[in-house]
Amino acid sequence: MLNQYALNDPGYTLNPALISENTFINCTNSIAIRETRTYIRNNYFYYDGALFPIFILDFGGGQPEITNNAFVLGRPNMFIDNLVVADNGDLIQNNVFISPTSADEPFVYTEFPIISKNNHFEGGLIAHYLAYQAISPQLVIKNNNYWNTRSKYYPSYNNPYIHTEIQKDPMFIDSTDFHLQKYSPLIDRGDSSVLDKDGSISDIGVYGGPFGESYVYIDKAPRAPSGLTVTLSADTVLLKWKKNTESDIRMYYIYTDSTTGVTTDTNSYLTSTNDILLKIPKSYFTWGSAYFRIVAVDSGYNKSQGSIAVGVVLTGTEEGEEIAAERYRLYQNYPNPYGGAGKEKTKISYELKKRGYVKLRVYNVVGEELAILVNGEREAGYYEEEFGAPVIRKGLEDHILTSGIYIYKLEIRDSETGHPVFNESKKMLYVK
């Protein structure tokens, strides 16, 4: 960790300076500028330490152009200083500011008018702190996106460009890849005077604008629905869940079964709906308890993973009691045994009650690792992975499965603490 400025311009030169394509990790203070014209672009700033970081500090006079950078705070419940301290005339354009918490200080602090446009702000308490002489006709804040950020500006002011400001799910590829998915509301939503490399209107975010990147927008599946509740009211089973925030959600599929192991296939399919509320007559069910999962479907008919299973008791003394299956769980693979007769692959299902780092691996009986099915962050929800012939693993591309017992192992670490929270193995049988 650096406790001083990683790059400090003392102002001895009037030549323009370019700071580009650098990575700053846990630098308490990363860049300080005095008077020199400075271009800060395409850098990555990350901090998850215990102090109060300032990523960029403009002491005045340099009027830097701060473009196409990612500013990321990696830990919740942390306190920050001001990620960017700007000065008169600074340009802050096509950046991404990410905080996993409502930190007590702003992303951008300025005492003078600045130009802030085409930026994405996510989390945090304040996007722009406008002090002293900042609020003036020269202040330009436009075409920014604010997602789960408490306040766009503090103190509040009558922004003449408020009609260009939006609050939308950005639909990034994932939490560490800030490329936009197909149908993202940030596509072509920047200031019309700024163009992307392909000549279209700038996207909001780090890959938009003339110093961004031309790329193909990927149509990914939606996130798994969350917040499912199931209640019994008179003779009706009532399901409610949170609405997905992606812009291209088309409908939801509902699956049901008599056990917590509700699969998201045709055998368990119940119905579809465009709503986030569903009423089902109790008489439909012949079971003592009914469990449900919800799957989100987008306009391209891509399906999300299933929600966490939640059920309700339908008969007996505990009738009407909700059964929440919010836990970590590894299910038995299906089919089992598998192999031959069109069953060369089997599905391994697991469940996360909260976001975690997941490793799912397959071994033979002598402990040789045959496949890594998952190795990365996953949101809370229900997941299914396929395993079978051929085995896909570096160095084992041509490995042929032989009849016998195989072991699959699920390990989960809490994303916030890094501590192990789940570790379980199960056996499966492959028959050629």
If we measure between CA atoms, which residue out of 322, 305, 304, 303 comes closest to residue 313? 322
- Would residue 368 count as lying in a domain? yes
C-alpha distance from residue 260 to each of 290, 333, 350 (Å): 9, 14, 11
Q: What is the mean pLDDT of residues 120-127?
A: 91
Predicted confidence band at 383 (pLDDT cuts at 50, 70, 90)? confident
Predicted confidence (pLDDT) at residue 52 exceeds the cutoff of 80: no
Does residue 162 register a pLDDT over 70?
Answer: yes
Distance of alpha carbon 2 from alpha carbon 11, whole angstroms: 21
Mean pLDDT of the chain: 87
pLDDT at 14: 55
Q: Which residue do the tokens 């009558």 mark?
A: 158
Residue 174 lies in a domain: no
Beta partners for 197? none
Q: Is residue 124 part of a domain?
A: yes
Domain check: are 320 and 354 in the same one?
A: no
- Identify the domain boundary among 276, 297, 324: 324
**Domain-located, residue 405:** yes
Amino acid occupying residue 160: P
Mean pLDDT of 389-397: 54
Say yes or no: 274 and 336 in one domain.
no
Which residue range forms the structural domain that includes residue 260?
229-324
Structure tokens at 373: 């099915």
- State the pLDDT at residue 41: 97
pLDDT confidence band for 346 (50 / 70 / 90): confident
Under the banding of pLDDT at 50, 70 and 90, the label for residue 394 is very low
Residue 326: both structure tokens together: 């919010």
pLDDT of res. 392? 52
Do 409 and 284 share a domain, yes or no? no
* Helix, strand, or coil (residue 252): strand
Same domain, 247 and 346: no
Cα-Cα end-to-end distance for the chain: 55
Q: Which of 86, 90, 95, 100 is nearest to 132 (CA)?
A: 86
Average the pLDDT over 217-246 and give the result. 93
Whether residues 74 and 60 fall in one domain? yes
Higher pLDDT, 36 or 78: 36
Query: Residue 12: which pLDDT band, with cuts at 50, 70 and 90?
Result: very low
Beta bridge partners of 38: 17
Same-domain status, 309 and 368: no
Reported as a single tens digit per residue, the pLDDT across 197-207 is: 999 999 999 99
Among 112, 129, 164, the domain boundary falls at 164
CATH of the domain at 384: 2.60.40.2550
Domain-located, residue 94:
yes
Q: In terms of domains, do 317 and 233 share one?
A: yes
Q: 248: domain CATH number?
A: 2.60.40.10
282-317 pLDDT, tens digit each? 999 999 999 999 999 999 999 998 888 899 999 876
Total of domains in the chain = 3
Distances (CA, A) of 223 to 7, 195, 246, 247, 303: 39, 30, 8, 12, 9
pTM: predicted TM-score of the whole model, two decimal places: 0.78
| Helices and strands of the chain, counted as H and E runs | 0, 34
Q: 379 phi and psi, to 5 degrees?
A: -75, 165
pLDDT at 1: 33
Task: Enter the DSSP assignment of 197.
Answer: T
Sign of CA dihedral 217, 220, 75, 110: positive
Which tokens is 306 given?
């299933």
Cα→Cα distances 56→14, 24, 32, 253, 317, Å: 19, 11, 6, 47, 63
Domain identity same for 341 and 257: no
User: Does some domain include residue 286?
Assistant: yes
Closest by CA to 194, choosing from 312, 93, 343, 272, is 93
The whole-number pLDDT of residue 11 equals 43
Q: Does any domain span residue 216? A: no
pLDDT score of 2: 42
Residues 317, 376: one domain? no
Asked if residue 408 is part of any domain, the answer here is yes
**More confidently predicted of 105 and 113:** 113
Pick the closest to residue 32 from 85, 107, 69, 72 (CA basis): 85
Sequence-distant (≥ 6) Cβ neighbours of residue 199 within 8 angstroms: none
Q: Among 42-56, 109-123, 192-206, where is mean pLDDT lowest?
A: 42-56
Distance CA 337, CA 65 (A): 61
Specify whether 159 is located in the same domain as 36: yes
Residue among 213, 176, 204, 173 nearest 94 (CA): 204
Name the phi and psi angles at 40, rounded to 5.
-115, 110
Peptide bond preceding 10 in cis form (omega within 30 of 0): no
* φ, ψ of residue 197 in degrees (nearest 5): -65, -25
**Listed residues 266, 294, 324: the one ending a domain:** 324
Shared domain for 149 and 279, answered yes or no, is no
**Regarding beta strands 54-58 and 27-33, do their DSSP bridges make them parallel or antiparallel, or are they unpaired?**
parallel
Whether the per-residue pLDDT at 9 is higher than 50: the answer is no
Which residues, 6 or more positions from 13, have their beta carbon under 8 angstroms from its beta carbon? 36
Relative to beta strand 236-240, strand 277-281 is antiparallel
CA 252 – CA 243 distance, rounded (Å): 10
Listed residue (386, 225, 222) closest to 310, CA to CA: 225
The pLDDT value given to residue 3: 41
Which pLDDT band holds residue 138 (cuts at 50, 70, 90)?
A: very high
CB atoms within 10 A of CB 116: 26
103 and 28 within one domain:
yes
| Close Cβ partners of 284 (under 8 Å, ≥ 6 residues apart) | 237
